[in-house]
A and B are shown apart, each in its own frame.
Chain A
């Protein structure tokens, strides 16, 4: 039992030293926890595609019962807020250009007459397309209100579609974005910490000292990889708890599977970070290369826009992106309650990235001395 215990004791003392370096003063401790806390609160409230407030203006040239009913329906949603009542179509440009109204609803003079004649009565909506996804969502919302109005007029189409959304019954975008942050926000710091770990020692000249100790490259690798992983998992836990208890998004899957996935994901991230660290000559380079890498990783992860909307060549590139599979795994376990069978595929690229980057970093530790 002697050599094994000895071996572990050495790794353990390196880990302890690394953790002490990370946590030695209050300001560096704060830098590890406060960002995760602040970001998850800020983004929890700020990152939403859901319409909560649509300022609109009305140009009602019909002034009849049905047009009033349509407007009452709009006002009754609590989402549409009338900011202006226009007198002529010449005023439309002004309210849209200045951004006072997201949309103008224009009801022509013959609206009521056409309706009672059994014809189709067009209503025009003009939308501010500067944010096309808000414009599209608002148009769809008005469409749904008009459909409901038609139904109450007895002009219902013979077929209705009953919609039901699994896993996110009210289709809230927060449910989509927040669980993904469990992986995405902590990745930024695990990457940065692991990228800096060796680079800092290089800059200060202590890495050469580490190399002449009896520690083997494998021991150094483990000692350098575990502390950032721990920090990453702690950060993920903070975000996870905020989502679960503050934003109260129900968790459907198993916690242990979530953490198994997070551990794999963090391992892959740390592998990338340590590889950067082994290549960089100083801290500045390590940081800049991390930023250079982290932005494409975030953008190509499906965090903000779905991977399936990307051109195929970029979709292929995402297979090397651990964040894509981390996000997918967390979302599916958290929201869909997916089991190990369902997400087993997500583990493959994560393991592959870890299996390539960690040995590479270990090799570079020894073979890049400059």
Chain B
């Protein structure tokens, strides 16, 4: 009997919350339109992969050898070389932000090449350190071929200093899970985390605070509803929004961006739902604590959304982060889900990791819901 009363009240409250959610279009703008925008921006807009980097070539040595050497850069799809008549002009271009790098062939290049000790000078704009490092690698790669030819032309002649021929170590590199090292592949799975987080941080974080501000929560107290029923009824409609977003994310990942889905779909969906509950309850808890919409949205942004972007291993690898920050990141539910979802998409089902992450997420869900329910006990102040 009491069980059916629970179901009845929950159904009635859920209907009320759903109507309230649908009434204000801004909820759906953030709940559905923002995720779609993010999917498209992450899939098409954001990329760490450098293309057409602007490299200015300065040829102080007019010999054909020097010219052939740097013309090797023109074959690279990553570099867009252009010529500058002198170093002064190249440096001016760099200061004006019209080039990313300068490759200079010094005047004594051919002479020193004959002696087996030639040097090229590469000046990078270091402001964007990532791009600078990529450009350096591409320039080295593009110069390696003509340099090898040059060495071969020298005719197996032993190096000036070495007495016997020595072999050289070469590196064969294989990147597992993401053979072409495409950044889209690791950004798109992370997007699932981001979208699930933003619904909790932006939408549910305001729900209880709004009722406190408007005083409608007190009128709810005179009805027979229990605190947990209010909490669950507030979760249900936003859970549905989150589930729709998950479908968007998965479809986009699979068909738009062709990210591999190597783990089982059921596990991905189950883990995402679990994290969605954690994220929604965290939002509700913040809402119940602050009782003020502005403070709630600020706190949610600060404790839930921004850390999920910056400290969960989404773009910045946690291995590179100092100890105390790593400890903070381990406290975030987003970190555990981020690791799991990347593994599920790119590597496959890794059961020990699945169990560990899901156990942590379940623990968070239970604790957060219990805390919120406690805070919602009927009391006036």
Contact = CB atoms under 8 A, between A and B. Distances in A.
B241 interface: no
Interface residues of A, number: 109
B168 A153 contact: yes
A196 B174 contact: no
A45 interface: yes
A236 B269 CA distance: 41
A171 B30 contact: no
Interface string A93-118: 00011110010000000000011111
A127 B167 contact: no
Contacts of B137: 140, 143
B350 A97 contact: yes
Interface stretch (B43-51, B55-63, B226-234, B370-378): B43-51
Contacts of B52: 308
B313 A131 contact: yes
A146 interface: yes
Q: Which of B97, B119, B131, B322 has the most CB of A within 10 A?
A: B97
B311 A42 contact: yes
Interface string A161-197: 1111111110111011000000000001000100010
Contacts of A66: 169
Contact of A163 (B30, B136, B183): B136
Contact of A131 (B27, B46, B317): B317
Interface stretch (B245-253, B277-285, B298-306, B358-366): B298-306
A289 B127 contact: no
B159 A156 contact: yes
Interface in A64-117: 66, 70, 96-99, 102, 114-117
A299 interface: yes
A299 B126 contact: no
Interface string A328-348: 000110011010001000000
Contact of A196 (B24, B69, B143, B294): B294
Given A126-B174, A285-B24, A119 B302 contact: no
B311 A159 contact: no
Contacts of A124: 172-174
Contact of A133 (B139, B183, B294, B301): B183
A175 B125 CA distance: 12
A132 B167 contact: no
B293 interface: yes
B212 to A, nearest CB: 13
B261 interface: no
Nearest to B328: A42
Nearest to B121: A162
Interface stretch (B1-9, B81-89, B147-155): B147-155
A300 B339 CA distance: 25
A166 B124 contact: yes
B172 A122 contact: yes
Interface stretch (A48-56, A205-213, A219-227, A263-271): A48-56
B47 A310 contact: yes
A3 interface: no
A165 B126 contact: yes
B181 interface: yes
B159 to A, nearest CB: 6
Interface in B310-347: 310-311, 313, 315-317, 319-322, 324-325, 328-329, 339, 342-343, 346-347
A292 B25 CA distance: 13
B216 to A, nearest CB: 14
Contacts of B175: 126-127, 129, 132, 135-136, 139
14 contacts: A49-B130, A51-B320, A66-B169, A122-B169, A134-B320, A136-B175, A146-B170, A157-B148, A159-B119, A176-B127, A196-B294, A291-B34, A308-B53, A336-B97
The 5 closest A-B pairs by CB, nearest first: A168-B126, A129-B178, A165-B126, A155-B168, A118-B165
Interface of B: 24, 26-27, 29-30, 33-34, 37-38, 41-42, 44-53, 69, 94-97, 113, 116-134, 136-137, 139-140, 143-144, 147-148, 150-151, 154, 159, 161-162, 164-179, 181-183, 185-186, 198, 202-203, 206, 210, 293-295, 297-298, 301-302, 306-307, 310-311, 313, 315-317, 319-322, 324-325, 328-329, 339, 342-343, 346-347, 350, 352-353
Interface of A: 27-28, 31, 35, 38-39, 42-43, 45-55, 66, 70, 96-99, 102, 114-137, 139-140, 142-143, 146, 149-150, 153-169, 171-173, 175-176, 188, 192, 196, 280, 283-285, 287-289, 291-292, 295-296, 299-300, 304-306, 308-311, 314, 331-332, 335-336, 338, 342
